């Protein structure tokens, strides 16, 4: 990867306290990925670094609390598609929504805040989930990367089976050479990881582990 450092971007997905142990939507072992992500962020292997940040208004439509009679992890129909209902998490301005202070965010060139529309969920850093019009509006990240000459993206963060997955699949669909760093992600439901891996590869996402990346010290 080092030969392409000038055209490679690191995407750090949703590393926020609410997704870590003790948070409102904690991903098991999510804290174990932090040292590896720190190492990637501190390296000189990337021309750009971009973070995504879940940033929901109160009473967001993806929250179970916004749907009387429903519990977290129920699935409903929203704008014609399945919607998992989540515990309230990453509410704008709350401590759980902040980017985790232990990582070197000064090295990040841009932060994409997602989930800001109260009526539309957003997993991917590239496109929101389906809205009332049946489309998935772009966040602007594709254009941002293309205008800066990005050809490859390396994706890590939380959670592997939702926001990381959707971000990686959308990156590949947009034409970027996309690498998902498997050991620097964790899933909400790890029992589905084997199937998930196959689906990601089928979508054109390359799966690698951090030790196989050529990262400059």
List residues with catalytic annotation: 14, 114, 163
Nearest CA-CA partner of 79 in 128, 46, 37: 128
Helix (H, G, I), strand (E, B) or coil at 95: helix
Whole-Å CA distances, 123 to 44, 79, 159? 28, 15, 9
Helix (H, G, I), strand (E, B) or coil at 113: strand
146 Cβ partners below 8 Å, 6+ apart? none
Residue with tokens 């902040």: 98
Per DSSP bridges, beta strands 177-186 and 81-84 are unpaired
Q: What whole-number distance in Å separates Cα of residue 159 and Cα of residue 134? A: 25
Q: What whole-number distance in Å separates Cα of residue 197 and Cα of residue 180? A: 10
């Amino acid at each position: 990867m080092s030969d392409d450092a000038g055209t490679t971007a690191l995407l750090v997905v949703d590393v926020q306290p609410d997704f870590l142990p003790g948070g409102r939507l904690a991903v098991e072992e999510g804290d174990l990925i932090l040292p590896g992500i720190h190492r990637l962020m501190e390296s000189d292997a990337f021309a750009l670094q971009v973070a995504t940040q879940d940033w929901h208004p109160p009473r967001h439509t993806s929250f179970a609390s916004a749907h009387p009679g429903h519990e977290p992890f129920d699935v409903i129909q929203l704008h014609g598609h399945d919607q998992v209902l989540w515990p309230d998490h990453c509410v704008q301005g709350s401590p759980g929504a902040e980017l985790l202070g232990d990582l070197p965010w000064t090295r990040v060139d841009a932060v994409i805040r997602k989930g800001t529309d109260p009526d539309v969920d957003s997993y991917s850093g590239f496109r929101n989930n389906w809205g009332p019009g049946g489309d998935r509006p772009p966040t602007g990240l594709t254009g941002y990367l293309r205008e800066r000459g990005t050809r490859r993206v390396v994706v890590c963060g939380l959670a592997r089976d939702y926001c990381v997955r959707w971000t990686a699949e959308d990156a590949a669909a947009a034409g970027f050479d996309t690498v998902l760093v498997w050991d620097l992600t964790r899933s909400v439901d790890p029992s589905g990881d084997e199937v998930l891996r196959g689906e990601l590869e089928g979508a054109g996402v390359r799966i690698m582990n951090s030790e196989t990346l050529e990262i400059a010290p």
